[in-house]
Amino acid sequence: MKIIMLGAPGAGKGTQAKKISEKYQIPHISTGDIFRANIKEGTELGKQAKTYMDQGLLVPDELTVNLVIDRVEHDDCKNGYVLDGFPRTIPQAEALDKALSGLGEHLDYALNVDVPDENIVKRMAGRRACISCGATYHVVYAAPKTEGICDVCGSELVLRDDDKPETVTKRLGVYHEQTKPLIDYYAEEGILKTIDGTQNLEAVFDDIKRILGE
């Protein structure tokens, strides 16, 4: 099962992608996580990506597309994967389609987690991320067992720099301009499924399970 997640920053793509990955036993591939890991390791890619991410802008397609295409050709992707945060532009979607059809493959579902802008800023202000393993929490809706500490690895939780309200507003603008057109793109391909992302985490996942099959 090959799935992509669509939705505004903070809509809950990562949260649901993790659940999908666990239930359906397919890798969760998050471009945001890959870039953050590269920043932490101080790689050349990380240095380049950071200058864009800090401003709330997209990392250029040239730095993003090949990274993902190489990744989905790994052995662990044979039975499918859930892409989270990619594609984010029409050229990225076209490049992915082209690479997949070259392999005789195709995407099965584009899951659009729909959350209005008004809810996003509040969600992002409460998001906390682990500095070490990247696990994500919310101070109200998905609180860790101990405040400020990652359940998974025990490291410190922080507010991501790009989750500060000024940058969130910028990222929402970028989403509307560059990423939202993908909704029509995948509707035309006939694989778009829209889910009401304002429901609680479990209700959103129930809707997704109804689409993907138990």
Q: Which residue has the tokens 């899951």?
A: 111
- Specify the pairing of strand 127-130 against strand 136-138: antiparallel
- What is the sign of the dihedral through the CA atoms of 90, 96, 34 and 60? negative
| CB neighbours of residue 17 within 10 Å | 26
Residues 68-107 vs ligand ADP: string with x where CB under 6 A? Answer: -----------------xx-x---x---------------
Residues 17-36 vs ligand ADP: string with x where CB under 6 A? Answer: --------------xx--x-
Taking CB within 5 to 8 Å according to partner kind, which of ligand ADP, Zn ion, none is near residue 110? none
Active site residue 71: no
Taking CB within 5 to 8 Å according to partner kind, which of Zn ion, ligand ADP, none is near residue 80? none
Q: Which of 6, 15, 38, 82 binds ligand ADP (CB under 6 A)?
A: 15
Q: Which residues of 143-169 are buried (b: 16+ CB within 10 A; e: fewer)?
A: ebeeeeebeeeeeebeebebbeeebbe
Q: Which of 4, 14, 80, 157 binds ligand ADP (CB under 6 A)?
A: 14
Taking CB under 6 A as the rule, does residue 53 contact ligand ADP? yes
